[in-house]
Amino acid sequence: MDAKSIFLNHLAQTSPFPLALEVDYAKGSYIIDKTGKRYLDLISGIAVSNIGHGHPDIINAVKNQAEKYMHVMAYGEFVQSHQNDLAIALARLLPPTLNSSYFVNSGAEANEGALKLAKRITGRTELVAFRRSYHGSTHGALSVSGNEVKKNAFRPLLPDVRFITFNELNDLALITEKTAAVIIEPVQGDAGVRIPTQHYLQQLRARCTAVGAQLIFDEIQTGFGRTGKLFAFEHFDVTPDILTIAKAFGGGMPIGAFISAKDKMDLLTHSPMLGHITTFGGHPVNCAAALANVKVITSEGLLEGIEAKGKLLQTQLTHPAIKEIRRIGLMFAIEFDSPDVVQRIVLKCLEKGVITFWFLSCPESFRLAPPLNITIEELEISARLIQEAIVESV
């Protein structure tokens, strides 16, 4: 049985139409398939590989830690140096009220922990989320996601969840003294890169403070430089009560975290004890990779060049069929008239050696999220090939 048949018949599938690119290896901004064909990775594994593939600092960190030890105990019992070092690194980069990290395995798990923490802090049950949002596919995370098509087959989900409209000031009145938490992507990712106004997010912050609701920022997709700042909330001069991170956090290794003030996080240690537990959270190899990744992003000047690279790519994507380009940093949605056109463009790009992708909740757009350290030459090649794919597909 060949590799593709095994993939289709013995691995659970997420759709009837996977791209099924058979990967041999990946390096820098490229993924190379088993035939030797090179693909420019303009998706970064959906905003994961922000410093590209195979960065030597990540590889060395993984090797060195794996040689010392891997899993030794469930999270929260043993003192492990890379967990400590990573927590301190994050605390130094974040506002003082975000000084305590709980390391988990994924973005969905980070959001699950954040929702539990907010209920524990407030003693309330109501959760407020946003239409067209995406926070993960586990039951709690799906409950606060705004895509009804993806949710209906799995009901009943969490009760007491209220949805409001993103960037709509009048809806903020629906956040009340009954609300435990408001969970929001500071830039909506899966909705097709929807960017709020600074005034809106500041008013949201003020409303949560006024009624005693916890404000959760889901920066799973926007974190670690994707928007041109280390975290998207820096664009808006707003600090959340709880921050969730994952995706690009681990430099390609699976790790997430929910982060808040130490006194709030301590509530998970009693009444009951072990209020949140995870076996593999804070895995030492993943923490070592994440620490190396954070050092690369913050020390190699990557953040300074992101906006210029984003503008360059945007200016080179010009076609009458493009209805709109929504962009912040190196996070793009390119919108057309129909999902069918987008489907053709994505597949044509793949044929030409450029990996693009679609959105779950905005099928009339395709997404781009190239590595932050992609070169100007690679961006220009990518733009040319995407332009060709558009011309041949519309």
Tell me if 367 sits within 8 A of 358, measured CB to CB. yes
Collapsed DSSP state (helix, strand, coil) of residue 169? helix
Q: Which two tokens stand for residue 120?
A: 């524990």
Query: What DSSP designation does 366 have?
Result: E
Question: Could you give the angle at which helices 284-299 and 56-68 cross, rounded to 10 degrees?
Answer: 150
Q: Which residues of 94-127 are buried (b: 16+ CB within 10 A; e: fewer)?
A: beebbbbbbbbbbbbbbbbbbbbbbbbbbebebb
Rounded-to-integer distance, Cα 218 and Cα 236, Å:
14
Cis peptide leading into residue 18 (ω within 30°): no
Closest CA to 46 of 285, 340, 367, 290: 367
Closest CA to 248 of 89, 41, 53: 53
Tell me if 221 sits within 8 A of 47, measured CB to CB. yes
pLDDT at 1: 85
Low-confidence ranges of the chain (pLDDT < 50): none
pLDDT digits (tens, 9 = 90+) for 309-345: 999 999 999 999 999 999 999 999 999 999 999 999 9
Rounded-to-integer distance, Cα 122 and Cα 127, Å:
11
pLDDT at 300: 78
Rounded to 5°, angle at Cα 144 from 102 and 162: 125
- Dihedral (CA of 341, 343, 348, 350) sign: positive
- Cross-strand bridge partners of residue 256: 104
Q: Which helix (H) or strand (E) holds 358?
A: strand 357-358
pLDDT at 17: 87
pLDDT at 78: 98
pTM above 0.85, yes or no: yes
Cis peptide leading into residue 272 (ω within 30°): yes
Tell me if 279 sits within 8 A of 75, measured CB to CB. yes
Rounded-to-integer distance, Cα 149 and Cα 88, Å:
41
Rounded-to-integer distance, Cα 354 and Cα 336, Å:
19
Q: Which two tokens stand for residue 147?
A: 């895509």
CATH of domain 57-299: 3.40.640.10
- Cross-strand bridge partners of residue 332: 327, 368
Residue with tokens 């994050």: 90
Collapsed DSSP state (helix, strand, coil) of residue 285? helix
pLDDT digits (tens, 9 = 90+) for 189-226: 999 999 999 999 999 999 999 999 999 999 999 999 99
Rounded-to-integer distance, Cα 350 and Cα 360, Å:
19
Tell me if 116 sits within 8 A of 152, measured CB to CB. no
Rounded-to-integer distance, Cα 368 and Cα 64, Å:
33
pLDDT digits (tens, 9 = 90+) for 378-390: 999 999 999 999 9
> With left for phi above 0 and alpha for psi between -120 and 50, is residue 85 left, alpha or beta?
alpha
Q: Which two tokens stand for residue 12?
A: 């659970």
